[in-house]
Copies of this chain bind each other. A is one copy, B any other.
Amino acid sequence: MNKIVLLTGFEPFGGESLNPSWEAARRLDGVELAGARVHARQLPCEFGAALAALRWELDALRPTLAVAVGQAGGRAELSLERVAINIDDARIPDNAGRQPIDRPIVAGGPAAYFSTLPIKAQTAALRRAGIPAAVSQSAGTFVCNHVFYGLMHALAGGPARGGFIHIPYLPEQAAAHPGAPSMSLDTISAGLTLALETALTATTDIAETGGTTH
């Protein structure tokens, strides 16, 4: 046992009193999966500061696998994000009150990075286990995409793999957002566990469509 998994969640934002990404990540802190130990860390929901904290953890932990998790209020499934794009375009202010519009995350950086997680194998494994999941073609343009891009930029060229998973509201959040789907913390945690195990054990991804026509 010396492989390390870094699993991050966010602090609450947008008026919520909790963030399901951190509630789920903290549950897995210290757990052993497929010969690796999970280290859960909370990130601030702030442009810049979130990435600074992430880079500090990457340097300190030197993980084999680094997965960031974020809340996607309104989505019904675990979303295996395919691609991070090099832009911040905030529809609402972050927790520090900043609202960048059309600013690159890394000046001169590539336009995008693809996840290096086996997102098709993860989606298939989750569905087989009865956990709603889908590949997503966009992680948005807020702090989640910011962290996803920054993570992939930090890992680029190295051996560690990484990616981003969006999760639904918890039921207690959705109760205040009529019409919004939700997922229980038990289901989310089981899903993240399985997604991490699949990432740790899959050597290559599977060829199964996760695309959209538009």
Contacts and interface: CB of A to CB of B under 8 A. Distances in A.
Nearest to A111: B112
A22 interface: no
Interface in A50-102: 70-77, 79, 82-83, 85, 87-92, 99, 101-102
A95 B156 CA distance: 37
Nearest to A169: B132
Contacts of A75: 214
A128 to B, nearest CB: 8
Given A70-B214, A92-B213, A140 B140 contact: no
B186 A186 contact: yes
Copies in the complex: 4
B111 A114 contact: yes
B214 A140 contact: yes
Interface of A: 14, 70-77, 79, 82-83, 85, 87-92, 99, 101-102, 110-114, 120, 126-134, 137-142, 144, 166, 171-172, 174-176, 178-184, 186-187, 205, 207-214
Contacts of A139: 214
Contacts of A110: 110-112
B141 A137 contact: yes
Contacts of A91: 209, 211-213
A83 B114 CA distance: 13
Contact of A89 (B128, B138, B166, B211): B211
